Amino acid sequence: MWHTSPAMVERPKTTGPGRTIRGRLKSLIRRGWVTVYKLAREKDPPERVARGLALGIFVGFLPIMGIQMAVVSIIALPLRANLKAALAGVWISNPITFIPLYYANYSFGLLFWPEQGASKEAFVKALENAADFSWSAIWDSLTALFDMGTDILVPLWIGSGVLGLVFGVPTYFATKRLVIKYRQRREAARIRKQIKKREKEDRKAGA
């Protein structure tokens, strides 16, 4: 009797928007880790690299998409933060993530500013214009947000600021630790390589 191994069975392929969203999120996560390790190779001290990434994360949470890179570039200089790290951090808000990110910020801000009127439904409706993730739609959506007044703007800014700190502060300490450990391992590997090279040269000299 023939037996079909599991490897021979063709698995059904997942299609649809859910697969696309998951794929994009996984791609963003992979790019995030690659970016962190690239930043670890920067010549700046670990504190400056960590400060830059934390600053970028904080600014990325703010509802200023479209000018966030300019803003973080201006702030990074007086704070002596690594500019590359800061620019990488702001991309936590991008055409894929900004709708759920701003909605989470707004919902959290309502805990401190429980206004009625222009509620969550009105907020989501303001962002639906950007559902195709085109830059023109994003600008139109943000313009609509600023036209809605304090019922949305105040809780949005409160939530964005608080959550930006909640995620930005741990990012500083985690990045600093990662950069230090990465550089220590890299230095240890360099020393081991030098030792092996000298041992090889000594063996050749003694032969």
Could you read off the pLDDT of 61-88 as tens digits, one per residue? 998 877 888 899 999 999 999 998 999 8
pTM score of the predicted model: 0.71
- Of 22-36, 88-102, 164-178, 183-197, give the range with the top mean pLDDT: 164-178
Length of the chain: 207
pLDDT at 141 exceeding the cut of 70: no
DSSP state of 65: T
DSSP state of 97: T
Confidence band, pLDDT 50/70/90 cuts, at residue 40? low
Measured distance CA(168)–CA(172) in Å, rounded: 6
Least reliable range by pLDDT among 85-89, 105-109, 139-143, 191-195 = 139-143
CB 52 within 8 A of CB 77: no
pLDDT at 14 exceeding the cut of 50: no
Helix (H, G, I), strand (E, B) or coil at 3: coil
Confidence band, pLDDT 50/70/90 cuts, at residue 25? low
Residue 132: HSE in the Cβ half-sphere, 13 Å Cα cutoff: 7
CB 182 within 8 A of CB 61: no
pLDDT at 118 exceeding the cut of 60: no
Confidence (pLDDT) at 20: 60
Least reliable range by pLDDT among 49-58, 127-136, 176-185 = 127-136
CB 61 within 8 A of CB 101: yes
pLDDT at 50 exceeding the cut of 80: yes
- For 43, the token pair is 């010549």
Helix (H, G, I), strand (E, B) or coil at 46: helix
Confidence (pLDDT) at 129: 53
